[in-house]
Structure 1
Amino acid sequence: MQGLVKVSQFFGKTFAIWVLVVAALAFFLPGQFLWIGPYISILLGVIMFGMGMTLTVKDFGEVFRQPKSVLIGVASQFIVMPLLAYALAKGFNLPAEIAIGVILVGSCPGGTASNVMTFLAKGNTALSVAVTSVSTLLAPILTPAIIYVLAREWLEVSAASMFTSIMKIVILPMILGLIVQFFLKEQAKKSVDIMPLVSVIAIVMIVAAVVAGSKDKIIESGLLIFAVVILHNGLGYLFGFLIAKLFKLDYSSQKAISIEVGMQNSGLGAALAAAHFSPIAAVPSAIFSFWHNISGPLLATYWARREKK
């Protein structure tokens, strides 16, 4: 078991490399990965089940211990990133399907990777976990509503069907994870150590499926999507930090809010895009998944070194 834990930690630390390698393989050998497409929602469900197994009552208790900070983090998550996505879609005059994809990933809650990055950055990790948990629980309502308001000028959006999808692939697996943790505490603790490996495999497979199914569109507009994703992610970090500073949160909380806002649950974005729109709409989420796992560690390393000084 200890050997498996070490393998899990290794894959967690080298996540971005595996995403890049598998994305390249899927691009050049798409036929080998197209079979994954129908399983994207199941793979995301596995990730959310793992998230449920790691959550504790203490994590939700932070909502009451730091209500102002959690409110600022959640509000920033669902206001800053969607509006940035909309502005980038309009500013770059993106094609409809790509615009939808950018707004989709911007409307998703934070991902669990943000908690790890906040810890590495010596930020307020308890706040980060609380914001991720609350934003994930609010996602069935807020994500479809935001997408409906911002994206309907490009394509028809069904908020009701998105609500159902998010309940099935996010909330239900997360609740099941919480139930397993409650009734099988010891087994759950042992399993948590290998969840990074499971999450890496699942996300890498999702990215592979998206890239394989969208090869032609990526060739056509890949650089544009990449530029938009980098801007979206970077501006998310910046605005998250500035908003936390504006509301006079402490420095460790500023770092937590910055990372929470900048890093998204891109797996959810890809799953919703594939289920409700088209494979190309999932490409921004796939690229975001790769990129924020490069930018996040870089930002966390900078802040950690600054803390030491």
Structure 2
Amino acid sequence: MSLLGILKKINKFAGKYFAILVIAVSAWCVYKPLTLKALVPHISLMLGFIMFGMGMSLKSEDLQLIFKRPKEILIGATVQFTVMPLIAFVLCYLFKLPSDLAVGVILVGTCPGGTSSNVMTYLGKGDIALSVSMTTVTTLLAPIVTPFLTLLLAGKFVPVSAFAMFLSIVKIILLPIFLSIIVKKLLGHKVDNFCEIFPLVSIVCIVLISGCIAGANASKITTCALLTFLVIAIHNALGLVVGYFAGKLFGFSEEKRRTLSFEIGIQNSGLGVSLAAAHFNPTAALPAAITSIWQIITGPIIASYWAKKTANNTHDKKFKNVS
């Protein structure tokens, strides 16, 4: 078997046990905090690899859809950048979170949709094309919107340098995406086979990032993780619910409602970790690290439920037609 074939098999295995890998590595790093300490300064670089992979997976049709279905994407992006930051801000006040944790939760709320939302949409029988386009748009808006919202909401807790955050997001998100587009343009179909293993790169990076933050916060896990976990769980649940019913409010089809639910409820927690570690401190990165773990538990559960529901509905329709 070729090296590429082996990597594809590893990719399939890693994708299947993604949640278990993240939890296992994070737990180990809490037990042995120095395990990934050397990688902590390179969190932004790892996120850059994830964004490069996202860019490599983009197709011209995904970008064209932005102009073909602007209303749906505009609604999704607006809900994403209003509801999620406000929910995060309110939760921080209600639970009286310490300032470092509060800014971390707000950062999660102001981040764009995560790339894993595309996978969840696929598994949950949603509108994949809409999901990819929405993730792309919110990601491209992030350099402006995320620093502004963080300054507006988290500035009440700690000093925030919006311009420094803007530069960071440009370096770790926009540059890798644009670089990937250039690479695809220059090499064309020669990179098609390698595009299939980029999800493996993303999985490895997310696992390592989660482990880095878990290790950096090992001494504080026992004192503040439970409260932070509760806030993140509520934030995630409300995002998934609000996304679905926002789609219903605007008359979206069932597939588009599911898409909106995942796009709103699943954040780019890797960006949250990177920004928190670069501009605040490791404690501020803890909420984003917990988010990355929690999302890959709730996302597949909901996606499996919707996939099963779709399968049952299809079976019922076939049965009625036969009858």
Superposition TM-score, scaled by structure 2 size: 0.94
1:21 corresponds to: 24
1:284 corresponds to: 287
1:298 and 2:296 aligned: no
Paired residue type of 1:49: F
* Deviations 1:110-167 (CA, angstroms, capped at 9, x unpaired): 1110001101111111100000000000000000000000011100000000000000
Counterparts of 2:144 and 2:215 in 1: how far apart (Å)?
A: 31
Q: Measure how far apart 1:286 and its partner are.
A: 0.5
Counterparts of 2:170 and 2:257 in 1: how far apart (Å)?
A: 30
2:102 corresponds to: 99
2:41 corresponds to: 38
* Equivalences for residues 215-226 of structure 1 within 5 A: 215-226=218-229
Q: Measure how far apart 1:13 and its partner are.
A: 2.1
When Rg is computed on C-alpha atoms for both structures, the one with the higher figure is 2
* Equivalences for residues 184-199 of structure 1 within 5 A: 184-199=187-202
1:275 corresponds to: 278
Contact 1:19 1:207 (8 Å CA) reproduced: yes
Greater shift, 280-289 or 9-18, is seen at 9-18
Q: Measure how far apart 1:186 and its partner are.
A: 2.2
Q: Measure how far apart 1:169 and its partner are.
A: 0.5
1:73 corresponds to: 76
Q: Measure how far apart 1:57 and its partner are.
A: 1.4
Q: Measure how far apart 1:185 and its partner are.
A: 2.0
* Equivalences for residues 76-225 of structure 1 within 5 A: 76-225=79-228
Q: Measure how far apart 1:187 and its partner are.
A: 2.9
Counterparts of 1:199 and 1:17 in 2: how far apart (Å)?
A: 15
Contact 1:9 1:196 (8 Å CA) reproduced: no
Q: Measure how far apart 1:210 and its partner are.
A: 0.7
**Secondary structure of the corresponding residue to residue 7 of structure 2:** helix
Counterparts of 1:11 and 1:196 in 2: how far apart (Å)?
A: 9
Paired residue type of 1:258: S
Paired residue type of 1:230: A
Q: Which runs of 5+ in 1 are unaligned?
A: none
Counterparts of 2:13 and 2:199 in 1: how far apart (Å)?
A: 9
Contact 1:141 1:163 (8 Å CA) reproduced: yes
Q: Measure how far apart 1:217 and its partner are.
A: 1.8
Q: Measure how far apart 1:247 and its partner are.
A: 0.7
Counterparts of 1:62 and 1:158 in 2: how far apart (Å)?
A: 34
Contact 1:30 1:215 (8 Å CA) reproduced: yes
Counterparts of 1:200 and 1:65 in 2: how far apart (Å)?
A: 31
Paired residue type of 1:8: N
Superposition TM-score, scaled by structure 1 size: 0.98
Please, which of 226, 249, 252 is the counterpart of residue 252 of structure 2? 249
Identity %: 47
**Secondary structure of the corresponding residue to residue 126 of structure 2:** coil
Paired residue type of 1:27: V
**Secondary structure of the corresponding residue to residue 94 of structure 1:** coil
1:259 corresponds to: 262
Paired residue type of 2:229: F
Q: Measure how far apart 1:5 and its partner are.
A: 0.7
Q: Measure how far apart 1:196 and its partner are.
A: 1.5
Contact 1:44 1:268 (8 Å CA) reproduced: yes
2:235 corresponds to: 232
Counterparts of 1:128 and 1:90 in 2: how far apart (Å)?
A: 31
Paired residue type of 2:306: W
* Deviations 1:237-266 (CA, angstroms, capped at 9, x unpaired): 000111111011111100000000000110
